[in-house]
Structures are given as C-alpha cells and as structure tokens.
Chain A
Amino acid sequence: QVQLQESGPGLVKPSQTLSLTCTVSGGSISSGSYYWSWIRQPAGQGLEWIGRDHTSGSTNYIPSLRSRVTMSIDRSKNQFSLKLSSVTAADTAVYYCARAQGENGWYYFDYWGQGILVTVSS
C-alpha cells in the first residue's frame, strides 16, 4: 500500500522560504507512471493545485505561484519536495502531497499525504 507523508516546519516567517518534503513508502518514486504533486487548502476553503513534478524532470506550476515555486525529486530517498519563496500570510494553509495517476492533463490523485499545516507568521 502506497503511503505519502509530508514533513517540514509548521511555522514560517513572512518573506522566508517554505520548504516541505514528501516521503513515499510502499512504492518507488522512480516509476515513470506517476506525477508527484502538491496541493494546498487554506482553512475553511477549497483545494488549490500548486504544481507537479515527474522523474523525467518535467514540472508544471500554477501560474500565480510560478515565480516562487520550485519542486524537485530525490530518487535516492524516495522523496519529493516543495519550496515556496517570499511567503506571506496568504500562503498559510494545509499542504498536501499527492500521487497523480494518468496522462498529463487527465490525471487524478489516487494517494494523498495526511497534510501538514503551515502557518506564515512572525
């Protein structure tokens, strides 16, 4: 059974960089069949897709965050990561990592991490 687990600081100061890691167990991140994604959810609000990465090196980010987002995959550790720079209070949310299955543009998220609350505050 595939499992994903987010980790990282729960509190980040404004203007700093949010860094999260997602550890994948029960399956190899090196499988080219999947995209590895980050999705966030502000308190009481809906889901916002942030972006996705692939072992081919192909990434895609939501335009509104593209200038601040970097995603990467570490095959040796079976992990993928998210970095979001110059954060503000508007970036406060629960961040989920998720595995996406299917062709680009058609994929769905079949496995999710439990989510990690990241608060941006001084």
Chain B
Amino acid sequence: QSVLTQPPSVSGASGQRVTVSCTGSSSNIGAGYAVHWYQQVPGTAPKLLIYDATNRPSGVPDRFSGSRSGSTASLAITGLQAEDEVVYYCQSYDNVVAHVIFGGGTKLTVL
C-alpha cells in the first residue's frame, strides 16, 4: 500500500483532457514537500515529466501540466494521443518515514 494514493487507471478519448490525482497526507504533500511526476513506457525506465509540481523539463510537451492543492497533486494531460497510453507515477517525500515515496502508479487508456 503506497503512502501516495493514485487511481489504478484512468481513461479519456483521443484529443480530450484527463487528470491523474495523487493524494497524500499532512506528512508529505500536505506538509509542502515537492511533488514530481514520471511517465513509464512498459519495459523502459521512468522518465521525468513534471518536477516541483508544475515545472516541465526541457522536451516535455506543454500538453502535460501539474498542480497541487492541500494534500493532493494532479497531473493533467490535454490533447490525448495514443502514445500517452502508459503508466504515470507521482513522487514526494514523507517526514514520518523520512524518505522518498512513490504513488502506486496510474495506467492511462486512450479510447
């Protein structure tokens, strides 16, 4: 059971918008620790998608955006494309366990 809770799956129609939530608590996201997002194509290493909740590394399309409010962070993907149909993970830090934590991952299906 992950400290950060993500929905196991989300779906959206091609071209539409979808959001992936990452729910934490007062010892991690709610405490103000940074939230980061990764995209993982099956069989490959995760790739940094969003860092510090809202920032995109160079090369990441602006279709991907992040936000946070209270103990929850969200990843939004607009203009859904077939290539977006992979797994997304959130990551933060928890001051109770005192280490990096990951969400359980969310599989995105593009309809």
**Chain A residues close to B by CB (< 8 Å):** 37, 46-49, 51-52, 60-63, 96, 102, 105-110, 112-115
Q: Are A108 and B45 in contact (CB under 8 A)?
A: no
Residue numbers in B under 8 Å from A37 (CB-CB):
100
Question: Nearest chain B CB to A91's CB is how many angstroms away?
Answer: 18
Which of under 10, 10 to 19, 20 to 34, or 35 or more describes the interface residues of B?
A: 20 to 34
Residue numbers in A under 8 Å from B68 (CB-CB):
none
In the complex where A102-B34, A108-B52 touch, is A47 in contact with B102 (Cβ < 8 A)? Answer: yes
Q: Are B102 and A114 in contact (CB under 8 A)?
A: no
Residue numbers in B under 8 Å from A47 (CB-CB):
38, 46, 89, 91, 102, 105
Given A63-B97, A109-B48, 14 additional A-B pairs, CB 8 A:
A49-B102, A62-B99, A63-B99, A96-B45, A102-B34, A106-B34, A106-B52, A106-B93, A108-B34, A108-B52, A110-B48, A112-B45, A112-B47, A114-B45
Q: Are B99 and A112 in contact (CB under 8 A)?
A: no
When chains A and B are docked, how far (Å) is the Cα of A60 from the Cα of B94?
13
